[in-house]
Every structure is written in C-alpha cells, then in structure tokens.
Amino acid sequence: MIASRILGQPWAPDDRLDFEMARMTYNEALFPDVLYKRCDPAQLPFKTTAELEDLSEILGQPRAMEAVQFGLGMRRQGFNLFLFGSVGTGEYPAIRRLIEEKAAKEPTPPDCCYVNNFEHPEKPRVLQLPPGRGTILRDDIERLVEELRSAIPAAFEGENYRARRHVIEEEIKERREKALEGIAHQAEAKGVALLRTPTGLVLAPVRDKKVLDSDQVSQLSEEEAKKIEHDIAELHKKLEAAMRQVPDWEHEGREKIRQLSEEVTIFAVGHLIEEIRRKYVDLSEVSDFLSGMQRDIIENANEFLSPPEHPLTALMGIPQPYVAKGSMFFRRYQVSLFVDHSANRGAPVIYLDHPTYQNLVGQVEYLAHLGALSTDFNLIRPGALHEANGGYLILDALKVIAQPYAWEALKRALRSGEIRIESLGQILSLVSTVSLEPQSIPLQVKVEQVGFRIQ
C-alpha cells in the first residue's frame, strides 16, 4: 500500500500518516501535526483525573500482575516477591494497592506481649492473644497489682493475722522460758542462781538468796568450792543443751509464721487472680502466667508491705517513666504489649524505609541506674518483622543490602521461621555482659523487595 502511494497513486487525507512514514524512508522531515495525537476534551466523561479511580493494575503488564498475584497467593515458606522496574513508572504504588487490598481480606494476626519468666527472669516469655486482648490483659494486670498493694497490707493488719501470729510467738517464747525455768529450779536446789545479764545467761553460787562475789567465793572451803564448780559445770552443760534447741524452736516458729503469711496472702490474692483467670480461661498461656505471678507474689509478700518509694527517687537517677507506680519491684508483674493489633483490620502491610539490623529484628534497650546498666522484659522493642508478622513486609532491596548484617538477619529469620532478638554484640561475641534472651516468636510473613533500575 505504501509502495503504491510512493509510485504516485492517489491517496486520501486520512492516509497521510502512512504517506509520512513512507517519506521517512527518504530522510524527509515530518509535518508537525503528525507528531502528536489530537484529543478532544469534550469526548472525555470527566472534567479532571481526580474524578477517576486509581488503577488496580499496571497497564500493559498482564503477565507481571499475574505473577504478583500468584506470588502473593503462595503462603508456604520460601515464597517471596522481588519487584523490579524504573523509577516513576508507577509499579510500586500499584503493587502496594494490590497488597493492601489482599491484606484487608485476611485475618488480623494476634497481639504479642512479653511477660516475666518468674523461674528464669533472663528468658522473658511471649504471650500471643487475639487482636485487642493484649491491651485488655495489660490493663487488667495493672489494676490487679494496684489492688494487691492495698489488699495485702490490709490482710496483714487485720486482727485475725495479728492474733494468730501472737499465739505462735508466745508459744516459742513459752517453750524457751520453760526450758530455762527447769534449769533454774535445778540450779536453785544446788545453791546456784541462773542470772540474766546484758551479755547473756550466767550461773553463779548463791547463799541466803544472795549471789556471792569473787571475794566471797575465795573464802569458801576447798571442798565446797569444788562442789559448786562441779554443779555449775553440770548446769552449764544443761543450759547449753537447752540453748541449742532455741534456734530450732525459733526456726519452727518462723516456719509457722511463714505458713501463716502464705495463707493470709493466698486469701488476699487468690480471689483477685481467679477473677482474671476466668476472663482468660480460653488462653492457657495466660493462665500459666497468672499461676507463676501468684506464686511470686506469695514469696515476695513483704515487698507489698514496704512503704512506697520516696518521690526523690528521680533525683537518685531513676527516670520516672521506668518506675511502675512508685516502685521498681512491681515492674516484674507488668505485661509489656509488644505488638498491638487492636486498631488493625486485616493483615498488616509494613514498609520499612530504614532497614537497619535493629529496625528489622528488634532490640533490647538498657536503663542507666546509679552508674550501672540494667534491663528487663519491659525494655524489649519490636522490629518491622514483628509488626508485619502475619502480613506483608515491603523493603527497598538496595537499602537492605547497604545496611550491615540486615540482609543476613532477614534471611536467617525467613529460613528459620522465627524472629530471635539478639544484639550485634552478642552475635559477634564483642560483649560478655549478661543480657536478656527473649523467647523467639514464630514468623509468617510475605516479603516484597523492591528494586529500581538506575537511570
């Protein structure tokens, strides 16, 4: 067709483009009006592009979109996505919308909380709860501790506890006094008195109900002096035997008081903890935590009887945000809400702009207190893998590779199927200080790495 027009055959105005293409073969210039496509705005069904909905796919990339949908649908371990394109072509926004639409239809992952491991405090435990219940548990435990700080002292100040403790103390005192009374009677029969002095118990000879001093003893006959010395030696042995029993009696008394204190504490604590336990009867991990908490409270009941810390603790180097209601001790009972999905609907979609090692896998922070560094489970901070767990994590491939140890940490977490919080100092064996070993969290995440072609 083009050949015939070149040979001089007639051509219509609408065939001008073909003619111009033919002229290009002879290196001739094009007419300006063929270098662009005319568009009549009146033919468009909108006034501005703001009225249009965003495209749900990339134009001209059906195979790419099909591959992305297939990759997102593969939930087995090891299936992730790598997106590659040119900057400014719109691939990333379109893929982000596709991921968010899919995530919105998926279930919301559970909340994660770190709590104290009362048997091994250096190994905090993880509690996974349905979305929103992590916040509720944290608030319930906070209210529980506040109630216990009032209920336990009230129980120990009650008449019942005081009366029963007084009976135990009087029983020990009576046993001690009876033992000494028996020795005192034996001593009296032999002319010896059992005296109480500031330095302890003393046996001394007596005549006419008066204790003999050293001068009077020296005036006694040799036979009488030997008899008194012999009697005092025998009584001293009996006194020592009785005194050796006193620590056993006191230990027995302390054990009875401990059992009484435990009984009173259980009475004050049991019904309060049981009330919360019934609220979380469907979560066995929470029930185990409450049982450990109850045992620890019983063992440390004296801490609840101590007066609150002085307000000047802040001047001693203790930052107030880290002081739980006036006492560092009660931090051990807190619930640290690690990942909160109470406000989320569907699976999370997280984009990490600065993928450092700590930002990926989390970290353990430290608190400077009186010149020393300390930490606990309340200072464990989540990383992007924790926040995206159960959903999708979007990363810039170049930024990940540029950060030291970030790429290795990401691969290790994906291959092992769990997130383990370890400091770089521990991994590289650069520090030998005792740190926390938080329980690892199972990982189920789809990673989308984005790579852009450098123009």
| Residues of the domain holding 6 | 1-52
**Greatest extent of the chain over all pairs of C-alpha atoms, in Å:** 166
For 392, left (φ over 0), alpha (ψ -120 to 50), or beta? beta
Indicate whether 353 belongs to any domain: no
- What is the pTM (predicted TM-score) of this model? 0.74
Give how many domains the chain has, as a whole number: 1
Instruction: Return phi, psi of residue 442, to 5°.
Output: -60, 140
For residue 179, give every residue at least 6 positions away whose Cβ sits within 8 Å of its Cβ, in sequence order, or none: 242, 245, 246
**Long-range Cβ contacts of 309-314 (<8 Å, 24+ apart):** none
Indicate whether 328 belongs to any domain: no
Indicate whether 280 belongs to any domain: no
Three-state secondary-structure class, residue 41:
helix
H runs (alpha helix) in 346-396: 357-361, 384-388
Indicate whether 14 belongs to any domain: yes
Indicate whether 249 belongs to any domain: no
Strand partners, 83: 450
**Long-range Cβ contacts of 129-132 (<8 Å, 24+ apart):** 129/283, 129/286, 131/341, 131/342, 131/344, 132/341, 132/342
DSSP string over 249-296: HHHHHHHHHHHHHHHHHHHHHHHHHHHHHHHTTT-HHHHHHHHHHHHH
For residue 187, give every residue at least 6 positions away whose Cβ sits within 8 Å of its Cβ, in sequence order, or none: 193, 194, 203, 231, 235
Helix, strand, coil percent values for the chain (each to nearest 5):
55, 15, 30
Indicate whether 434 belongs to any domain: no
- Spell out the per-residue pLDDT of the chain, length 455, in tens: 333 333 344 444 445 555 555 555 555 667 777 777 778 888 888 888 888 876 666 666 778 788 888 888 887 788 888 887 665 556 677 788 888 989 999 999 999 999 999 999 999 999 999 999 999 999 999 999 999 999 999 999 989 999 999 999 888 888 888 887 787 777 777 777 777 777 777 777 777 667 766 666 666 667 777 777 777 788 788 877 877 888 888 888 889 999 999 999 999 999 999 999 999 999 999 999 999 999 999 999 999 987 655 444 444 444 444 444 446 889 999 999 999 999 999 999 999 999 999 999 999 998 877 777 788 999 999 999 999 999 999 999 999 999 999 999 999 999 999 999 988 776 666 555 667 899 999 999 999 888 765 44
C-alpha to C-alpha distance for 50 and 247, rounded to whole angstroms: 89
Indicate whether 2 belongs to any domain: yes
Instruction: Return phi, psi of residue 389, to 5°.
Output: -60, 130
Indicate whether 43 belongs to any domain: yes
